[in-house]
Amino acid sequence: MSTALIQLKSPKKSTFLNKVKEILPEGGNLNLCLTCGACVSGCPATGLENMDPRKFLRMAALGMDEEITSTPWVWMCTMCQRCIFVCPMQIDIPQLVYNARTTWPRETRPKGILGSCDMALRNDSCSAMGTSPEDFEFVVGDVLEEYREAQPEFAEMEAPIDKQGAHFFLNQNSREPVTEPDELLPLWKILHVVGADWTYGSKGWGGENYCLFLADNDAWEHITRISAKQADDLGCKVFLNTE
């Protein structure tokens, strides 16, 4: 069985070592890390690019900035936070991964995430598919009308957009109104059956925030503020993130 070795270079000032220390919980100490591997066990990106959360954290602690800021593995982390949940020290490894992503020049970041973020910035829908608020309203209305006719037991079902005072503000996967409109229906049916008071927003309804995963803080904030403002303007009490 072959073992991948970590090769240490000459000691040098480490930016990431300081970042590791910053995200430790109160009273935490890296010297107490047992490299137990609990973070590895639940990580969906374990083994990709010969990397896993435990190895990534130890490399950061050892000052291997160049290695951890150049590995493509940082773009394979899903930010699911399972590693934090199982870590006895509750070290925020996804935050460390995010910090590593920010060191990549924007134009060199994965094209799929980059393109989706930039598309979401093009209009107030915040849709990664580029769907305008007008197109979204048309699709929702068309699908709702067709389904009401096809299934009379749901003739009273609603799919409101910009309903003032609704309790829940919902977002939606951007792909579904464009390529899989029938996938909108299961959620509508559940909300109808339980009698939920909800609404979409014509603005900020795109459910994915690819700018977050791109580690573009300004774009991430822009997208989030559009959705939050629409929810506030409608007087909704709960933002229900379906993604």
Give the tens place of pLDDT for each residue, 20-51: 667 666 655 555 567 889 999 989 999 999 99
Checking if the pLDDT of 158 tops 70, the result is: yes
Give the tens place of pLDDT for each residue, 184-213: 999 999 999 999 999 999 999 999 999 999
AA letter at 166: A
Task: Point out which residues pair with 240 in neighbouring strands.
Answer: 170
Claim: this prediction has a pTM higher than 0.85: no
Checking if the pLDDT of 3 tops 70, the result is: no
Task: Point out which residues pair with 41 in neighbouring strands.
Answer: none
Mean pLDDT on 73-80 = 94
Strand-strand pairing, 168-170 and 198-200: parallel
Residue 90: CA count within 13 A, CB half-sphere = 4
Token representation of residue 211? 């700018």
> Over 38-92, what HEC string results?
HHHHCCCCCCHHHCCHHHHHHHHHCCCHHHHCCCHHHHCCCCCCHHHHHCCCCCC
CA 123 to chain centre: 19
Picking from 236, 180, 181, 157, the residue whose alpha carbon sits closest to that of residue 203 is 236
CA 83, CA 228: separation in Å to the nearest integer? Answer: 29
Mean residue pLDDT across the chain: 89
